[in-house]
Structure 1
Amino acid sequence: MTSSSLPPGFYPSYDTCHEVSQFCPVQATTLGYFPNQGVNIFVAVGYGLAAVVTIVVGVWKRTWGFSAAVAAGCILECVGYVGRALLATNPWNGAAFKMQIVAIILGPTLVCIGLYLTLKHAVTALNRSLSRLPPRVYPLMFVPADVSCLVVQAIGGGIAAAAGNGDGALLDHGNRTIMAGIVLQVLVLGAFGGLAGDYLVRAGRFFGGPAVGAEHRAGAALWVDRKFRAFRWAMGLAYAALLVRCIYRIAEMAGGWGNEIMQDEPSFVVLESFMVLIASVLLAAFAPGIFFPQMSHSYPREVREDESKTESDSTGVQMERV
């Protein structure tokens, strides 16, 4: 096709271009580059393995809510990076572009739910009187808030995917909607981190004190347990990785689609791909069913009832479990 044979008003977009050519250069795509296929295949496989491990351990140890959320997030991430691997061979593959937009935006939000579910059970198993909120409030507060972030980002991702690269106004609407969802997610993560950090500091002071009552012997034993200590560190690092990713996403989306940050693959790989992958691997490798069995529905019922009765006698409040 020569310049004279181009239709009037031709503009390279995912609707008008089907492969890289003189009139459909890779620079005109939203990403502006050929994604590194090897890196994206590696990341997709990593998410796939994390999903499989999470599902297997989740079924084995019966950590239903945690495992369902984390596995679903990992599966979405895997799908998204398969889409990016396909873009490596054809950056004008509109279906792959839409697939990676929606999946990679939504995946981390589901992974975050796994984190939110751990706080209630940690408070319940350690010492609920140290918490500024009743344990049952944590999932009731953070899970719906996280789902709201998911819905807002899904709407934005859908709008952006529908716009492709040809409708600038629609892309801007999708961008602003996604931005709103990500900012909300950062606020939710910040609030969760503040409450979780506050509780852990208070718990550390309490269990490190000179006198821990008999009613808290189970919590004291759990606090110094090496597996639970590893679990705390893993959850903390996963939280930090997810927070870094969300802050990066705000910077990436702030300049609109196709901005310099969005078209810089190394920053995307480090601050998006690997941050969420690190969080997902940590949640899979340090699964609560193994490292924090009190969160598992397979935890012996008689032990739960004994711990519940002990703390109930000292606080007058029945332990709760979902």
Structure 2
Amino acid sequence: MTIAITCGEPAGIGPEIAVKAFSALRGELPVLWIGDPRHLPNGTDFVVVDDPTGPIPTDRFPVLAQNYGPAPRPGVADPALAHGVIAAIETGSQLALRGVIDGICTAPIHKAALVKGAGFPYPGHTEFLAALGGVDQVVMMLACDALRVVPVTIHIAITDVPRRLTPELLAQTLRITHAGLQRDFGLAEPRIAVAGLNPHAGEEGLMGHEEIDMIRPVLDELRGEGLNLIGPLPADTMFHAGARRGYDVAVCMYHDQALIPIKTLDFAGGVNVTLGLPFIRTSPDHGTAFDIAGKGMADPSSMIAALRMAAQMAAARKV
């Protein structure tokens, strides 16, 4: 089994945590880094892999080499590198679609540099990967040992959430989450807890009507399809240890409702998973960390967790 690591933003911590993760996982999980070897930390003992369909070396850091042009300055995003960053994601996705590798783990990108340097038309990694995979909708899940969460709406203003939170979006998110937990995590009947939008899940209409008018009807419809759904639940009582034992994933209505609890429980070890793709994709749950890039300080814990989770998901798909 081999998981490819796409380079991400070369001026960030992506290359450093990839090398550190390789060292930590040496002998446990073969990886293949896709990027420009000139962007690796000084002194990295790497070997160029000419044919990714053949055996992948495990004694030295294996690199599927690409030429991005200029060398990066740690901590300073260079739009001139944008086409290379995008090409690495495309290469990894194509290898995964062809079955040459078992999944991809994407290092963080810097979207502003991609837009400026290459006119990148996507809001982020997830939407680009959906396009590469030929699917209309995917779901972002954040996962650690203690919790899995899915936000229905993601990077939008709080004032826009009620308008964007449609029955169609909620139903599709729940269906993709259900199918993803079955296919990628081996859960035959996943238990899905669903948060309300309002405090106390609206308290029977005293604090909002979205639960009555929209969320409950969607849950009732999908229960008829066989989904095991719990809720809508008050979000403030969903995440203590006892409550978490009652479900496999929490589906939340907006970004912070989902991400605050998981980042509180495991800030360093959270993994970003894309459900609904035709290939496995995970990512560390952090950004480029320009402030510490090139200083040897980056913590590879989330990258290690993301690689391990990609391998576990790939194994579940093969069962």
Using structure 1 for the length normalisation, give the TM-score. Answer: 0.26
By relative contact order (CA 8 Å, sep 6+), the higher-ranking structure is 2
Using structure 2 for the length normalisation, give the TM-score. Answer: 0.26
Higher helix share: 1
Higher strand share: 2
